[in-house]
Amino acid sequence: MRPILVILLALAPLSAQVARPVSATLQTGAARVSLTSLATLARGFDRDLRMFAVNDPIDLLGNTRGIYLEGFGAVFTTELSPILTPNVGPFRPNMSDQDRAKVRQRKLARIPAVERLMDSMLQSAAKDLAIPDDQQIVVAVNFVYLPYEDTTGLPGQMVVKATRRAILSGAQIEATVSNQ
Amino acid sequence: MSCSPFDLKDYFFEELDGAQRKQVEAHVTACGACREELNRLRLTGTTLLSLREEEIPRRIAFVSDPVFEPSPWRRWLAGFWNTPARLGFGSAALLSAALVVFALARPAAIQPVRLVQVPAVKTAQPVPAISEAAIQARIDQAADRAVAARTRQLDAEVAAARQERQKLLMVAAELEVDSRRQHALYMSAAGYGPPRQPAGEAK
pTM beyond cutoff 0.80:
no
Q: Supply the pLDDT for residue A15.
A: 58
Q: For residue B87, what pLDDT is reported? A: 80
Q: Residue A26's pLDDT is what?
A: 44
B158-191 pLDDT, tens digit each: 999 998 898 888 888 889 999 998 888 888 777 6
pLDDT at A51 (0 to 100)? 87
Per-residue 3-state assignment (H helix, E strand, C coil) for chain B: CCCCCCCHHHHHCCCCCHHHHHHHHHHHHHCHHHHHHHHHHHHHHHHHHHCCCCCCCCCCCCCCCHHHCCCHHHHHHHHHHCCCHHHHHHHHHHHHHHHHHHHHHCCCCCCCCCCCCCCCCCCCCCCCCCCHHHHHHHHHHHHHHHHHHHHHHHHHHHHHHHHHHHHHHHHHHHHHHHHHHHHHHHHHHHCCCCCCCCCCCCC
Query: SS3 for B66?
Result: helix
Task: Give the Cβ contact number of residue B54 at 10 Å.
Answer: 6
Mean local confidence (pLDDT), B5-20: 89
Residue B148: which pLDDT band, with cuts at 50, 70 and 90?
A: very high
Count CB pairs under 8 A between chains A and B.
Answer: 80
Average pLDDT, chain B: 83
B8, B41 contact by CB (below 8 A): yes
Read off the pLDDT of each residue in A101-125 and give the average, rounded to a whole number: 94
ipTM surpasses 0.85:
no
Q: What are phi and psi of A125, to 5 degrees?
A: -65, -40
Closest partner residue to A63 among B167, B187, B201, by Cβ? B187
pLDDT at A6 (0 to 100): 65
pLDDT band for position B202 (cuts 50, 70, 90) = very low
Contact across the interface for B203 and A148, Cβ inside 8 Å: no
For residue A32, give every residue at least 6 positions away whose Cβ sits within 8 Å of its Cβ, in sequence order, or none.
Answer: A25, A26, A130
Q: Does position B109 have pLDDT exceeding 80, yes or no?
A: no
Question: What is the pLDDT of chain A when averaged over all its residues?
Answer: 84
**A63 to B188: CB separation less than 8 angstroms, yes or no:** yes
Instruction: Note the pLDDT of residue A11.
Output: 64
Lowest mean pLDDT among A62-71, B66-75, B133-142, B168-177: B66-75
Pick the residue of A36, A37, A52 with the most B CBs within 10 A to test the interface with B by mutation.
A52
* A47 vs B173, B183, B195: nearest CB: B195
Q: What is the pLDDT of residue A12?
A: 62
Predicted confidence at residue A148, as pLDDT, reads 86
| Average pLDDT score over residue span A80-97 | 85
Distance CA B168, CA A147 (A): 11
Domains annotated for chain A, with CATH where assigned, are: 32-85+95-179 (3.30.300)
Position A24 confidence tier, pLDDT thresholds 50, 70, 90: very low
Region of poorest pLDDT, from A50-54, A65-69, A156-160, B77-81: B77-81
**Mutation choice for B interface testing from A36, A37, A40, A51 by most B CBs within 10 A:** A51
Q: Which of B115 and B57 is assigned the larger pLDDT?
A: B115
Is B143 or A29 the better-scoring residue by pLDDT? B143
Out of B118-132, B153-167, B184-198, the most confident range is B153-167
B198 touches chain A (CB under 8 A): yes
The larger pLDDT score, comparing residue A30 to residue B117, is at B117
Q: What is the mean pLDDT of residues B114-133?
A: 78
CB contact under 8 A, A60 and B188: yes
- Taking residues A78-99, what's their average pLDDT? 87
Percentage with pLDDT > 70 across chain A: 82
Closest C-alpha to A76, from A109, A123, A108, A32: A123
